[in-house]
A and B are shown apart, each in its own frame.
Chain A
Amino acid sequence: MRVVTAAFAIAAGIIVLLGYFFPAQLEPLRLLLLDWAVIIAGMAVLVGIFNLVAVQMDKFRTRQKGGVYGIILVVSLLITFLGLGVWVGPNAPSMQFAMNAIIVPVEASLMAILAITLIYASIRILRRRVDVMSIVFLAVAMLFLILIMPTPVGPIPGSQAVLDFLGMFSEGGTRGLLIGIALGTLLTGLRVLFGVDRPYGGS
């Protein structure tokens, strides 16, 4: 059975890939396969939510630390999913209110914590590692912050020229990193297509 699974997965992957290069011949089949994949991914979200509930219930049942929060999460999920999502509909004002009153402020709070965390990490970088790269990293980050900082009298004189000059290095570095990542992604995809890596459960 696992061989059949792998054969289906590899064949689907190859058809979708070749569909990009030979659209005249394979485009309809590629789109059909992608449509199926989108439906399966939609079902995967439901399976994922079931997994989330199971993990939280398990935490509560085995009296692990934070188990009570797990129950609050599950109750909130049921109210939002069944009460607001299924019953009154996702576009109803009450659903919009739940989004604006709970989810947006919580995410904004996490963003605020993130800002503090980043400042703290940058302060501690030289305690963690004292090497040339760390010093350059910190110095450039500070320099960029100063150059783009708003002041009461407008931009700092000459800041744009310095930003343009330093931007050459950062853009070059960025493109180098992205090329490396693209090559890594290409080879990872090839390993899956050749059946060497089988994240879908094959051995």
Chain B
Amino acid sequence: MIALGLLVLAALLFVGLTFWRRRSPGALRLIEAYERLNRSVGLAVENGTRLHISLGRGNLFTARGGSALAGLAMLRRLAERTSVSDRPPVVTSGDASLAILSQDTLQSGYRAVGAEEQYRFTTGRLTGLTPFSYAGGALPTIHDENVSANIVIGDLGMEAALLAEASDREDTSLIAASDNLSAQSIFFASSQEPLIGEELYAAGAYVGAGASHEASLNVQDILRWLIILAILAGSLLKFLGVLI
């Protein structure tokens, strides 16, 4: 019942804060990686280079699918913003369902800005079904397709190091976040501005996906404070001997 209560509370807060954010948009704190992302998008459009967006291999049947859905929300916005570019972004993923959703998202993004003829289904790619085959299949995209920025957001494991290394060798920007702790530590060591923990889920808000994404961040903050208070209260009660 606690889980259901938390879910209902989150849903109510989300709806309320979305309406509030539509009336008064909030100011987001500066996250260097997302500043770099927005600059990279503009530069890619201006100098005719490509963005490579890697959504990882998050299976939508597991909790790992959450990071993939966050990546898709960001992809939708990036597709709209790069629709005027000569070279459309290439999206790679390591899960078949995710690859199909990435194609749908790209198409929706182009359709929303009236540029559906720009869409090519070969720009949403399945590169492999195991961790290393996925990374191995994504490497040629980084090396050979005139990519100026690699945006890696999703569920990845140790194979993330291969993508980070390829990006480094091509001297391209790397904006990377993962829900996996091993991949987070790899990205911390190999990217200029690492994204840690739940910063992955802020991608939509920082690329201008709308009030609902800003409201999501507010709800996450409120719930985080509630959890902190619950942990502190539990510790105090245990210290006083009320909880065993």
**Contacts from A to B (Cβ < 8 Å):** 17, 21, 34, 37-38, 40-41, 44-49, 51-52, 54-55, 58, 64-66, 69, 106-107, 110-111, 113-114, 117-118, 120-122, 124-125, 128-129, 137, 174, 176-192, 194, 196-203
Contact = CB atoms under 8 A, between A and B. Distances in A.
Main secondary structure of the interface of B (DSSP, over half): helix
B125 A184 contact: no
A190 to B, nearest CB: 5
B73 A197 contact: yes
Nearest to B222: A183
B216 A66 contact: no
Interface string B125-152: 1110110110111001000100000000
Interface residues of B, number: 76
10 residue pairs, one from A and one from B, having the closest CB atoms:
A185-B66, A184-B201, A48-B96, A180-B198, A48-B126, A201-B104, A199-B72, A187-B216, A44-B96, A184-B198
11 contacts: A38-B61, A45-B129, A47-B96, A48-B99, A114-B159, A137-B188, A178-B181, A188-B70, A191-B73, A199-B72, A201-B108
Contacts of A187: 10, 14, 201, 216, 219-220
B197 A65 contact: no
A121 B201 contact: no
Contacts of A176: 197
A180 B158 CA distance: 21
A98 to B, nearest CB: 14
A191 B184 CA distance: 24
B100 A183 contact: no
A128 to B, nearest CB: 6
A177 B164 contact: no
A49 B218 CA distance: 40
Given A52-B127, A55-B125, A114 B158 contact: yes
Contacts of A185: 63, 66-67, 179, 201
B121 to A, nearest CB: 7
B11 interface: yes
B54 interface: no
B162 A180 contact: no
Interface string B218-238: 011001100100000000000
Contacts of B31: none
A49 B126 contact: yes
Contacts of B219: 187
Nearest to A47: B100
A21 B4 contact: yes
Nearest to B3: A21
Nearest to A109: B132
A203 B190 CA distance: 36
Contacts of B108: 198, 201-203
B171 interface: no
A110 B165 contact: no
A8 B184 CA distance: 35
B138 to A, nearest CB: 12
B124 interface: yes
A183 B231 CA distance: 16
Given A48-B126, A179-B227, A201-B104, A121 B161 contact: yes
A69 to B, nearest CB: 8
Contacts of A37: 61
A128 B173 CA distance: 13
A65 B144 CA distance: 7
A48 to B, nearest CB: 3
Contacts of B97: 40-41, 44
A180 B192 contact: no
A39 to B, nearest CB: 12
Given A52-B126, A180-B198, A187-B219, 5 more contacts: A17-B7, A117-B164, A121-B186, A128-B190, A186-B7
